[in-house]
Amino acid sequence: MTEIAEDVNQILASTVEISGSTTDTAGDTTTRIALLVEYDGTDFAGFQLQKKDRSVQQVLEESIRKVYGSSARVCGCSRTDAGVHARGHVSHVDVPFSIPSDKIPLALNANLPEDVSVLRARVVAPRFHARFDAVGKRYTYRIYNARIRPCLDRRNTAHVPGKLDIDSMRDAAFRMTGTKDFSAFGARVDGDRTVNPIRTVRLVDVTQIPGSEIMEITVEGASFLYNMVRIIAGTLVYVGQGKITPSQIDGLFEKKDRRLSGKTMPASGLTLEKVFYEPPIF
């Protein structure tokens, strides 16, 4: 820890000249940077700032304030729910002076808790927006499919004890791709009926990790309804359990009735894997 602290102090000391050359006389010139962040969502109330509960955005902003000496608003690509994890969450923030991009993760991580890590950083265009410029996201839902519940994998999987029929799940998953009305796979937020349910899903894939009890459901698309990936996962679990047949998936899209699809799976199994931009930024 002492070596890390010394490295961070050297990084910050080296920015004094850079700061003077990039800040105008009014002191309001900023540099926009993008952050690639990984976090264990178990002990967070989601990404977005909360009035009382701990959030990922909160700890990122606290670290930025310590490193850059001033407050700055972090804008995230996605407001992941409480308990949801991320391996490739992207945010942007405007900072008052420049630090070499490869040094930013080291500086920020020195002030972050162990369940959050900035993996990469880079300077982006002033108009770049982590949320509105995203053209797609990839999620993975992990299921621990064994009779005995897990211990070491309990924080990033959902336990399903009965043996699942993976071939049927794969058949059903293929039927979920395309541009369709996903009303049967989305939860309304406070009864909101104004959200467009038409979404484009490019990939739904089910794989068994070799030599493991863990099954992964990968979902990739342009955008998603609230809880959509967790409901897709719950529906595929129902298929694996024989409660829904693969051929009935087509009927779910036709009937558009949320009550006919599977349950919303626990947040613990869901991870935001990657956010896509054109051109790519990470």
Whether this prediction's pTM lies above 0.85 is answered by: yes
Mean pLDDT value of segment 232-247: 98
Q: Give the pLDDT confidence score for residue 208 in this predicted structure.
A: 97
Domain extent listing, the chain = 2-123, 136-276
Pick the CATH number of 2-123 from 3.40.640.10, 3.30.70.580, 3.90.100.10, 3.40.190.10: 3.30.70.580
249-273 pLDDT, tens digit per residue, is 999 999 999 999 999 999 999 999 9
SS (H, E, C) 76-114: ECCCCCCCCEEEEEEEEEEECCCCCCCCHHHHHHCCCCC
Give the distance between the most distant pair of CA atoms in the chain.
69
Provide the CB-side half-sphere exposure for 3 (13 A, CA): 0
45-103 pLDDT, tens digit per residue, is 999 999 999 999 999 999 999 999 999 999 999 989 999 999 999 999 999 999 999 99
Q: Give the pLDDT confidence score for residue 24 in this predicted structure.
A: 38
Residue 2 in this model has a pLDDT that exceeds 70: no
Which residues are known catalytic residues? 81
Mean pLDDT value of segment 110-115: 98
- 2-123 and 136-276, same CATH topology: yes
Q: Give the pLDDT confidence score for residue 195 in this predicted structure.
A: 87
Confidence tier at 26 by pLDDT (50, 70, 90): very low
Domain spanning 136-276: which CATH class is it, in words? alpha beta
Give the C-alpha distances (Å, rounded to integers) separating 222 from 141, 187, 194, 209.
Answer: 17, 18, 19, 26
147-177 pLDDT, tens digit per residue, is 999 999 999 999 999 999 999 999 999 999 9
Question: Quick count: other Cβ atoms within 10 Å of Cβ 201?
Answer: 23
